[in-house]
Amino acid sequence: MSRGGKPKDRSDGPERKCVATGEAQPKHGLIRFVAGPAGQVVPDVMGKLPGRGVYVAADRVALNKAVEKKLFSRGLKMQTTVPDGLADEVERQLVARVIELVSLARKSGDAVAGYEKVKSWLDREEAEILIQASDGSGRGKSKLSTPHFGSYIGWLTADELGMAFGRETVIHAALASGGLAKRVVEEAQRLRGLRETDDGGKGRSEG
């Protein structure tokens, strides 16, 4: 299994079409947008805001295309305005979402942080997901391997991962199977798309 995590299961859940690529895919791989009261485009990361919505793939290139080609107005069937830095705002919201989910998993006893605890979970095959800070030491991170048939998340910073565990920084973390594991992987994959760029991006995982 590659460090990018599990391949997408295109049959998993209801599908929607991306207005930028024209491709249909499961909703959990897309970002929903709605129009605010003044016609401004508002990201609906949770997918719960009322009103007509349009979907864009969780990918910075697709999102930038939707902005440049004015596809939000077409999809929402009204004149809209796009706030500056929309892609950055979506990324910020996705970071907050992943941190929140990992924090909830920690509070329920389904997540641990720290090299020794993570290694112990991996050795006992209790870990389903290995999470390592993007700005952590490559040598240190290489000593731990992604769980067999599990997933790897490597595009959160040490500060961001630390927030999930109530610490200043965290380099190594792991989540057990079940519980919030699937949702963490789904939200992290959406974040990865916003953090990747054509030149390799700040969010690409090692290995």
> Would you list the domain boundaries of the chain?
15-84, 89-195
- 87-131 pLDDT per residue, tens: 999 999 999 999 999 999 999 999 999 999 999 999 999 999 999
pLDDT of residue 199: 37
Q: Which single residue is written with the structure tokens 């998340």?
A: 153
| The domains spanning 15-84 and 89-195 adopt the same CATH topology | no
In this prediction, residue 12 carries a pLDDT of: 62
pTM of the model: 0.86
Q: 10-residue block means of pLDDT along the chain (207 residues)?
A: 44 84 93 95 94 95 95 94 95 97 96 97 96 94 94 97 97 94 96 71 38
Return the amino acid letter for 29: G
pLDDT at 179: 84
Residue 104, classified by CB atoms within 10 Å of its CB into exposed (0-12), middle (13-18) or buried (19+), is: middle
The CATH superfamily label for domain 89-195 reads Ribosomal protein L30/S12 (3.30.1330.30)
For the domain spanning 15-84, the CATH number is 3.30.1230.10
Pairing of strands 15-17, 30-35: unpaired
Question: What does the block give as tokens for 12?
Answer: 């998993």
Chain-centre distance of CA 166, in angstroms? 20
